[in-house]
Amino acid sequence: MKIRTRSRLILLTTLIIFLIFLSFITQSIIVQSFKTIEEQETTAHVQRFISQLNSEIEDVASTCYDWANRDDTATVFTNQDKSQDPSWLFQPVSMKNLGIDYIIIYDAEGNRVFSETITKDSKTINSVPPELDRIIRDSIVIEGIRGGISG
């Protein structure tokens, strides 16, 4: 064998061994690093998803609680025999702590079905100032539109 052929063969063998060695390094170091990064990213995404899901669950629970209270309020005020006292819905001390001075409830036609004034000493009076009643009634019952605005 000529020297030229031998040197090419040695060079080619060295190149093949180097590429195999480089392949093992790539597989063991770089791929493992990417695997670790992917696992961290996946964990972060799953934790974010779980957090969002918990937030949605809390929102649904809050809405259910709110609607349950609205259902109780509607039941009290739509009850035809008036056997339930609406004062249990609005405890004066709680309303005062929340900074609520007046409670006025209207039906869909704009008729006042319940009103209370909470005094500074947490007592209740079953009336409200007529000016306040007029302002609120005029703002929720649009003339000519049956049903007014809910909210």
Helices (H) and strands (E) in the chain, counts: 4, 3
Look at residue 113 and give its three-state secondary structure: strand
Tokens of 104: 């006025």
pLDDT tier at 143 (50, 70, 90 boundaries)?
low
pLDDT tier at 81 (50, 70, 90 boundaries)?
low
CA separation for the pair 90, 71 (Å, rounded): 14
Question: Which one has a higher pLDDT value, 41 or 117?
Answer: 41
Tokens of 70: 């609205």
Q: Could you tell me the pTM of the whole model?
A: 0.43
Of 60-64, 107-111, 125-129, the least confident:
107-111
Give the chain's largest Cα–Cα span: 118
19-76: pLDDT as tens digits = 999 998 888 888 888 899 999 999 999 999 999 998 988 888 777 776 666 677 767 7
Q: Residue 124: what pLDDT?
A: 77
Over residues 67-93, the mean pLDDT reads: 68
pLDDT tier at 100 (50, 70, 90 boundaries)?
confident
